[in-house]
């Protein structure tokens, strides 16, 4: 099967984007893995599928597959690339579109400076919905939030847990470049207290309006940036009393800006979205 694709990235989190608006794209997990493979395929953290939808008030459907082949609920950096893609491929002439994912509807807006703002909806804190099993743990209360002492064997890590539609465990660390991402990321990702695994975020607070963030992503390993991870880290940092309502997030791939007014307000994420090349692949 010959597939036309577009290679894109949002702050270094990279994607293969496939257009399924004219004909359905139904691939096997092995074929998604091949597309994401940096040696035997194109190479990407995630594969994004653009589909039509007949849901009233919604412009497109947005499906996301990690490069391990599993379909997931959300991808923030991918959402920014999504709107860049549909505009540049003539699938819409709107500057603001609404797209539905597995469990969400997002508003995506192209900004005059070329960046994209995504309304990421409200964060989810219910342990049942994250999902997170905190049974038997005594959380440390900080601000109006909790840090949960999850055991990694011979030591505990203090995790703030939140979902942006996909699960995140955020740890406040003194230095994101101290090696903790490589040593702790895989253990947290696969920890039994996260029944559907989890994206493991490591946040270094530089000021109340500026953090450094590295994320070991569920089903992709460490990525150069994680959009939902940046939202989760800022939401957790605000509730822990460490951050103000608008924060610049420096990731290894670029800068994202996250805004959240607390409560039931929506999280807004603004950042870059770039097309790298187009091509065809024989699967
Ligand atoms: N690895 C994530 C999906 C991609 C999220 C990330 N690339 C983003 O920008 O939000 C998960 O399994 O939930």
Phi/psi of residue 143, nearest 5 degrees: 60, -130
Interface confidence: ipTM more than 0.95? yes
If you average pLDDT over residues 172-179, what whole number do you get?
A: 97
Mean pLDDT of 46-55: 98
The CA 264 to ligand 1 mean position distance, Å, reads 22
pLDDT digits (tens, 9 = 90+) for 210-247: 999 999 999 999 999 999 999 999 999 999 999 999 99
State yes or no: is 81 an active-site residue: no
Active-site position among 157, 226, 236, 258: 226
Give the C-alpha separation, 224 to 221, whole Å.
Answer: 10
* Alpha helix segments (H runs only) across 145-215: 180-189
216 CB neighbour count, 10 Å cutoff: 25
- Say what the pTM is: 0.97
Torsion of CA 190, 191, 197, 199, to 10 degrees: -80
Question: Which one-letter DSSP state was computed for residue 124?
Answer: B
Tell the burial category of 142 from Cβ atoms under 10 Å away from its Cβ (0-12, 13-18, 19+).
Answer: middle
* Residue labelled with tokens 């997002």: 106
Asked if 258 and 107 count as a contact pair (C-beta separation under 8 A), the reply is no
* Ligand 1 pocket mutation pick from 15, 226, 270, 273 by most atoms within 8 angstroms of CB: 226
Q: Which atom of ligand 1 is nearest to the CA of 217?
A: 1
CB 44 within 8 A of CB 219: no
Q: Which helix (H) or strand (E) holds 79?
A: helix 76-88
d(CA 234, CA 242): 9
Ligand 1 centre to CA of 217 (Å) is 6
User: Which pLDDT score is estimated for 229?
Assistant: 98
Position 282 scores a pLDDT of 95
Distances (CA, A) of 68 to 187, 236, 282: 17, 27, 19
Exposure class string for 96-125: b at 16+ Cβ within 10 A, else e: ebbbbbeebebbbbbeeeebbbbbbbebbb
| CA–CA distance, 101 with 239 (Å, rounded to integer) | 26
pLDDT for position 152 = 98
Domains, the chain, in order of start with CATH, read 2-120+272-282 (3.10.310.10), 140-265 (3.10.310.10)
- Measured by CA distance, the residue closest to atom 11 of ligand 1 is 218
pLDDT above 90 coverage of the chain, percent:
99
Residue 201's pLDDT is 98
Would you place residue 166 in the very low, low, confident or very high pLDDT band (cuts 50, 70, 90)?
Answer: very high
- C-alpha span between 269 and 83 (Å, rounded): 14
Alpha-carbon span 235 to 241, nearest angstrom:
10
* Residues 50/62, Cβ–Cβ less than 8 Å: yes
Pocket lining: 166 vs ligand 1, CB cutoff 6 Å: yes
Name the residue at shortest CA distance from atom 13 of ligand 1.
166
41 pocket-lining for ligand 1 (C-beta < 6 Å):
no
Contacts of 260 (CB under 8 A, 6+ apart): 123, 231, 234, 235, 238, 245, 266, 267, 268
Query: Ligand 1 mean position to 200 CA, how many Å?
Result: 11
Q: Whose CA is nearest to atom 5 of ligand 1?
A: 75
E strands in the chain: 2-10, 13-19, 46-52, 60-66, 71-72, 96-100, 105-110, 116-119, 140-142, 145-151, 156-163, 167-172, 199-207, 210-217, 221-223, 246-251, 254-259, 268-271, 274-282
**pLDDT tens, residue by residue, 55-106:** 999 999 999 999 999 999 999 999 999 999 999 999 999 999 999 999 899 9
Would the annotation count 217 as a binding residue? yes
pLDDT of residue 34: 97
């Amino acid at each position: 099967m010959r597939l036309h694709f577009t290679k894109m990235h949002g702050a270094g989190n990279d994607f293969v984007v496939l257009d399924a608006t004219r004909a359905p794209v139904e691939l096997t997990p092995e074929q998604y893995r091949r597309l994401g493979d940096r040696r035997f395929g194109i190479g990407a953290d995630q594969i994004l599928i653009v589909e039509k939808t007949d849901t009233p008030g919604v412009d497109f459907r947005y499906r996301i597959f990690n490069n391990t082949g599993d379909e997931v609920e959300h991808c923030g950096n991918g959402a920014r690339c999504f709107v860049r893609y549909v505009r540049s491929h003539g699938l819409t002439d709107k500057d603001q579109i609404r797209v539905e994912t597995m469990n969400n509807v997002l508003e995506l807006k192209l900004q005059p400076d070329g960046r994209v703002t995504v309304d990421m909806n409200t964060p989810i804190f219910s342990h049942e919905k994250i999902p997170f099993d905190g049974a038997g743990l005594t959380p440390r209360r900080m601000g109006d939030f909790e840090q949960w002492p999850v055991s990694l064997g011979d030591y505990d890590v203090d995790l703030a847990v939140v979902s942006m539609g996909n699960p995140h465990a955020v740890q406040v660390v003194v230095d994101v470049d101290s090696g903790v991402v490589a040593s702790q990321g895989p253990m947290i990702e696969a920890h039994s207290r996260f029944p559907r695994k989890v994206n493991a975020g490591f946040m270094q607070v530089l000021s109340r309006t500026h953090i450094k963030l590295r994320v070991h992503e569920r089903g992709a390993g460490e990525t150069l940036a994680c959009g939902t991870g940046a939202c989760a880290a800022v939401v957790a940092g605000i509730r822990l009393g460490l951050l103000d309502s608008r924060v610049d997030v420096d990731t290894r791939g670029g800068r994202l800006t996250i805004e959240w007014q607390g409560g039931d307000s929506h999280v807004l994420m603004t950042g870059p979205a770039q097309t790298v090349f187009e091509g065809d692949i024989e699967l």
